[in-house]
Structure 1
Amino acid sequence: MGAVYIHIPFCKQACYYCDFHFSTSLTRKDEMIAAICQEIELRKSELNNTIIETIYFGGGTPSILSINEINKIIDVVYQRHSVVSSPEITLEANPDDLSNEKIIELSESKINRLSIGIQSFFEQDLQLMNRAHNSDEAKKCLEIATHYFKNISIDLIYGIPDCNNKQWIENIETALSFGIPHISSYALTVEPKTALASFIQKGIIKNVDDEKAQEQFYILKDILKKHDFVHYETSNFGKEGFFSKNNSGYWQGKSYLGIGPSAHSFDGNQRSWNVRNNTKYIKAIQENSLPIEREILSITDKYNEYIMTGLRTIWGVSVDKITQDFGEKYASYLAMQSQKYLDDELLIFENGILKTTAKGQFLSDGIASDLFMLNLV
């Protein structure tokens, strides 16, 4: 099974923390949609007739598109690929785009999963991040969306300056009050060259507090566990039957085709990525040329990626898979590097699977990087 990811590179305004590729100018939106459809055509054979299980609209802000524009792109995917009878088709959306009319239109399309960028239900947090919506819009869109969609995920951000633990708990409880079956939650991260980084450097906004972020991460874990959410990936919590099939495919090494400027693709052996520039992307596609860079993954690259993704999930890292796919040297190296984390109870080894403990989960990326193979030993 495979996946198609569609990157929609437009937003109404720039969130201060965001370093994804987007433009706040919609002047070339029609050309972009035509180029995205053409890229799907140009790359129709890349997944070697892999059956598509998920289609994911990310960005940017895909909900900025009209229903006709969304349907046009979906139709081209169906025309050029074999798609399972009941695919998961996700649209990332912002609350300010989700009017009653828009939600009804989406529910009547092939879109069957919404991923809504709530981030916080507190006005001060939304203003600090320069979100385009307000708290009332966040609550109103969920009130409507839950009547038309069963499969909804929301994003929440923790570690926001001046958002204390009491407010963070209220954020979580507000989300739960809508019966949402999936929550993706991320620490506020200061990415280089973002407005947030600049404001912190100038003292306009407080710097993020890593200790507070870690504390709020564990608060989130504890509350969601009590409400029968499964913490199946470091940043993702879902009720049974509501895990993201699209993202789970990424973490389990399935092939995916990334369409649109800056989108990444993976076929098991090769990773590729499109140019991160709307004008260059459109021009190349109009000339029937693919604005892509490609990288063939070495066995060490594949090992490192498996370690990174495996430790972030409940599926962990299989030592048998390491031995079978990469060889005894890699398995021995993993055993040697992981021992200190086993001793510190940050990792656990059960039934041939290496996983992070509850204590080690927040640190999974750092642990994984220490298990990476830099050179063959």
Structure 2
Amino acid sequence: MTYKDRGLPTPEKILNFIELLNTENNDNQSKELQPWLPFCEGKCSFCYFTINCEKDYVIPYILALKKVLNSYSKTNYVRSSIFNELYIGGGSPSVISNEEIVDLLEFCRANFNLNSDHITKFTACTTNLSLEKIKTLSSNNISQLDIGIQTFNDSIRKNLLIRDSGRDAKEKLRLAKKNGLQISIDLLYNLPGQTLDQWLDDIKQAIELEVESVDCYPLDLYPDTTLAKKISTGEIPPINNQEIELKMYLEAYKIFKNNGYHPTCHNRFSRIREDFRKPASEVIGTGAGFFMGHINRFLYSDEEDIQKYILAAENDIFPIARLTNLSKEDEMRKAMMLIYIRVPVNRTSFKREFGKFPEQMFPRTLEKLSKEGLIEVQNGNIQLTEKGDPWRFNIAWEFFNK
């Protein structure tokens, strides 16, 4: 199930959701707070997210965002929750002013129970990372910048409508690291016209920059994007076949491991300890286009349209566009999805939570994946094998086949 498959927020679902928020949370598990800022300076040609490039909306949107965050913060459930991570996500939040960044950080830290040693991550774009902005982020206890580099190759960057050069982007990364910020970058592979050598050069440059982690994603080509349309008209070359895409991934896997980066999370290779902790059990957040909401048994995503989001906030309504109440069986399937983010599923913990071992719930699926050498059981943990790692998304979805 993706966030697009979640049902509409019927009055009954909303009532049940609010009733849950009025209860106290007693699980003591880690939570992530995620305010979402959908602003960018411009839209990259491959981007399929809902973003906004109109600066006139920034001030009213931030007011609306803080109002909704405040509504969540006053509920019994959130007041009794502890947050280990604050993640400012979205489009490119670094597009807003330094003063607005500081104000939002201070608001979140004042209104939510963030651990004294919580991690704060901030999504940024190199085109608006001035030295002053970098210093603002560093001096306000930002732990890590997440930056969508995609590629350092200038000709490919041009096709992707990325607005600065690979050289300028690298200079911003060096500047951020010099000012004490950890760096995680996104790299895309199997891009239009991209050769294996060009991909290997991107990997080499990332390692030379000594970034803390790299998220490697195969290009997900959505038909309505500018990039897909240009490929269909022959204006730019097509992407490679799946065989080459797999080879690109396997080469990345080998090179990163040989250089001290290890696979973790969805698509990440990392050399820092924090990336190997179990992810937050719940994500409490809001914003136009925010889609990662997970509170107890509820999954939710917000209105994508910024005007609808602002209007809902002004009317004291949670701006939820899709809402799903997970059944016990759904929760068990979601627990097995940890395999996708390279987190082993502990058999004993699974039984403690659901009353049965995973092999009792999913006997045929686990037997099939084990026989194919894609998963293994070690020390009571069900985990991916190296053979299974490239297919982890497909493996995780096997648990949703009924």
| Aligned equivalents of 1:284, 1:313: Cα separation in 2 | 34
AA matched with 2:279? G
Residue 93 (structure 1) aligns with: 124
| Aligned equivalents of 2:340, 2:180: Cα separation in 1 | 28
1:262 partnered with 2:292: no
SS at match of 2:275: coil
| Aligned equivalents of 2:227, 2:264: Cα separation in 1 | 30
AA matched with 2:119? E
Of residues 311-320 and 37-46 in structure 1, the stretch that sits farther from structure 2 once superposed is 311-320
Contact (CA 8 Å) 1:47, 1:255: kept in 2 or not? Answer: no
| Aligned equivalents of 2:396, 2:114: Cα separation in 1 | 34
2:367 to 295, 314, 339: 339
Contact (CA 8 Å) 1:92, 1:114: kept in 2 or not? Answer: yes
Contact (CA 8 Å) 2:38, 2:288: kept in 1 or not? Answer: yes
Residue 61 (structure 1) aligns with: 92
Residue 68 (structure 2) aligns with: 39
| Aligned equivalents of 1:233, 1:20: Cα separation in 2 | 21
Aligned-residue offset at 1:305: 1.4
Residue 312 (structure 1) aligns with: 340
- Provide the aligned C-alpha RMSD in A: 1.9
Residue 145 (structure 1) aligns with: 176
| Aligned equivalents of 2:232, 2:239: Cα separation in 1 | 8
Residue 190 (structure 1) aligns with: 221
Residue 21 (structure 1) aligns with: 50
1:4 partnered with 2:33: yes
| Aligned equivalents of 1:284, 1:371: Cα separation in 2 | 36
Question: TM-score under structure 2 normalisation?
Answer: 0.86
Aligned-residue offset at 1:323: 3.1
Contact (CA 8 Å) 1:40, 1:76: kept in 2 or not? Answer: no
Aligned-residue offset at 1:116: 1.4
After superposition, give the CA deviation of every residue in 1:334-371 in whole Å (9 maximum; x if it has no partner).
Answer: 23212222222122222222222112111111122122
SS at match of 1:243: helix
AA matched with 2:49? F
SS at match of 1:28: helix
SS at match of 1:103: helix
Count of matched residue positions in the alignment of Structure 1 and Structure 2: 368
1:104 to 135, 142, 150: 135
| Aligned equivalents of 1:234, 1:217: Cα separation in 2 | 13
Residue 229 (structure 1) aligns with: 261
1:74 partnered with 2:105: yes
2:313 to 272, 281, 285: 285
Residue 175 (structure 1) aligns with: 206
| Aligned equivalents of 2:78, 2:363: Cα separation in 1 | 35
Unpaired runs of 5+ in structure 2? 1-29
Question: TM-score under structure 1 normalisation?
Answer: 0.92
Identity %: 24
| Aligned equivalents of 1:110, 1:2: Cα separation in 2 | 19
Residue 81 (structure 2) aligns with: 50
Residue 215 (structure 1) aligns with: 247
Contact (CA 8 Å) 1:47, 1:267: kept in 2 or not? Answer: no
Contact (CA 8 Å) 2:266, 2:341: kept in 1 or not? Answer: yes
The runs of at least 4 consecutive aligned structure 1 residues that moved more than 6 Å come to none
Contact (CA 8 Å) 2:350, 2:358: kept in 1 or not? Answer: yes
| Aligned equivalents of 2:276, 2:123: Cα separation in 1 | 13
AA matched with 2:212? P
Aligned-residue offset at 1:321: 3.3
Residue 127 (structure 1) aligns with: 158
AA matched with 1:212? I
Aligned-residue offset at 1:287: 1.9
| Aligned equivalents of 2:179, 2:210: Cα separation in 1 | 13
| Aligned equivalents of 2:240, 2:34: Cα separation in 1 | 31
| Aligned equivalents of 2:350, 2:223: Cα separation in 1 | 35
After superposition, give the CA deviation of every residue in 1:8-58 in whole Å (9 maximum; x if it has no partner).
Answer: 111111112111221122211100111111111111124242112111111
| Aligned equivalents of 1:143, 1:180: Cα separation in 2 | 9
Residues 52/329 of structure 1: CA separation in 2 closer, same or farther (3 Å cut): closer
Residue 391 (structure 2) aligns with: 363
Contact (CA 8 Å) 1:17, 1:191: kept in 2 or not? Answer: yes
| Aligned equivalents of 1:200, 1:74: Cα separation in 2 | 41
| Aligned equivalents of 2:348, 2:245: Cα separation in 1 | 35
| Aligned equivalents of 1:85, 1:96: Cα separation in 2 | 32
| Aligned equivalents of 1:49, 1:312: Cα separation in 2 | 30
1:300 partnered with 2:329: yes
